[in-house]
Chain A
Amino acid sequence: MKKLLILLAIAVGFSAGVFVVNRAVSREEKVVQPIDFSHALHAGKYRIPCMACHQRVMMGARASIPNIEVCGACHSTPMKKTPGELLVYRYVSRHRQIPWYSIYHVPDYVYFSHRRHVAIGKLDCKDCHGDMASLNSPPTTQFLQIKTQNCWNCHEKHNVTTDCSHCHR
């Protein structure tokens, strides 16, 4: 009985350890999106500005992942009839939202605002998200990992506040 308990304790310990490791590396976890969306085509070739689809960048904390109403503004009828576009059209015609996965997660004790960084701080999207206009398929991992050190480095570089309570809450 005692041995069994010890074994059980070890097993629980291991599983807990694995759980912690998994959580720690979740930043590098690869995400596969439901549609093979090409930023290179939209933002690169056709030069659609980021804010045309991510409409709340200048207005609020979150940049917003476009919903089907935004996609439907152009894709209400299929343009080129590629398999990817037909998939979008299916979502649009059935009025169903595309289940995009969010890659960037900020913990609830951090206040990160896109308006603060883009509208007030005049940062370029590229600074944190990389050159999205060159990507043929959706990003699978975070470009600039969400870590305090990364925030700190940039705040020091641009000589903006490093007061903890300006971002933590």
Chain B
Amino acid sequence: MPKYGMVIDLDKCTSCQACVTACKVENNVQIVSEDDAQNGRAMFWMKMLTMEFDGDYPNIRPKTLPRNCMQCDEPSCIKVCPVRATYLRDDGIVAQIYPQCIGCRYCMANCPYTVKVFNWDRQEQPAEVERTYNPDVSVRPKGIVEKCTFCIHRLQTASEKAKAEHRDLEPGDYVPACVEVCPVDAISFGDLDDRKSEVLKASRDYRAFGLLEELGTVPKVRYLNAKE
């Protein structure tokens, strides 16, 4: 059984936010109104957190940190879910089952990374967005908690295709949308149990660190930063 993980190289990242856009489009994440966004209800599964600004004006360059679900090995969100709508899969992905969710938001309160988002309302989306919904992902109704699932719908179809072709899942078969779209290959993704995988090599780099590791959540999304 593989164990999926991700390593994001902050030294390579140019803060272009292609991953943010790709994630939003791939997963039909709702675009909220301006008022809601100002109230902190903007919905992003992958979000850019500004860490610092390099250089002086006008040659300023923000240093950002793309933050998606950490897919913890010891997730704190699953421990409080009363209906098992979120749980840890055998392959290390923390799944979120939307029809099972009752919207109590305990998981949101318990997530130290605040990666989960709640559908406060179902707003009318721009016609262009509705036309280009991804048919592989459901459109979540009002009152449901959602989060990054490492594009689990891609895993479902990739593993099915591999099985139909009587072979094992190969490293390039399944990659989330953010990894696929990154123009500078700053995000590597793969099986952490595979000794030859690039992601394992990167996660053992001397620059590697995890967010809030001291909490014992064992995040499977790790970062590389030379300044750390």
Contacts and interface: CB of A to CB of B under 8 A. Distances in A.
A156 interface: no
B99 interface: yes
A111 interface: yes
B60 interface: no
A120 B166 CA distance: 9
Nearest to A120: B163
B185 interface: no
Nearest to A167: B156
B163 A165 contact: no
A165 B164 contact: no
Contact of B136 (A115, A165, A169): A169
B20 interface: no
Nearest to B85: A164
B28 to A, nearest CB: 9
B163 A111 contact: no
B160 A115 contact: yes
Interface of A: 107-109, 111, 113, 115-116, 119-120, 163-169
B139 interface: yes
B137 interface: yes
A107 B97 contact: no
Contacts of B163: 116, 120
A115 B162 CA distance: 12
| Of listed B89, B149, B156, residue having the most chain A CB within 10 A | B156
B100 A164 contact: yes
Given A107-B138, A119-B164, A164-B100, A169 B156 contact: yes
Contact of B138 (A164, A166, A169): A169
Nearest to A164: B97
Given A163-B90, A167-B156, A169-B149, 16 more contacts: A107-B99, A108-B139, A109-B99, A109-B138, A111-B136, A115-B160, A120-B160, A120-B163, A120-B164, A164-B100, A165-B89, A165-B93, A168-B97, A168-B98, A168-B99, A169-B152
| Of listed A108, A113, A120, A167, residue having the most chain B CB within 10 A | A108
B201 interface: no
A111 B153 contact: yes
Contact of B156 (A109, A111, A119, A120): A111
A165 B99 contact: no
B95 interface: yes
A169 B137 contact: yes
| Of listed A111, A115, A119, A169, residue having the most chain B CB within 10 A | A169
17 contacts: A109-B98, A109-B99, A109-B138, A111-B136, A111-B153, A119-B164, A163-B89, A163-B90, A164-B87, A165-B97, A165-B149, A167-B156, A168-B97, A168-B98, A168-B100, A169-B136, A169-B156
Interface of B: 87, 89-90, 93, 95, 97-100, 135-139, 149, 152-153, 156, 160, 163-164
Contacts of A116: 160, 163
Given A107-B138, A169-B136, A115 B164 contact: yes
A167 B97 CA distance: 10
A111 B152 CA distance: 11
A164 B87 CA distance: 9
B138 A108 contact: yes
Contacts of A109: 98-99, 138
Kindly list the 8 A-B residue pairs having the minimum CB-CB distance in the complex, ordered from nearest: A165-B95, A109-B138, A108-B138, A164-B97, A169-B153, A168-B97, A120-B163, A116-B160
A163 to B, nearest CB: 7
A63 B90 CA distance: 30
A164 B164 contact: no
A167 B89 CA distance: 13
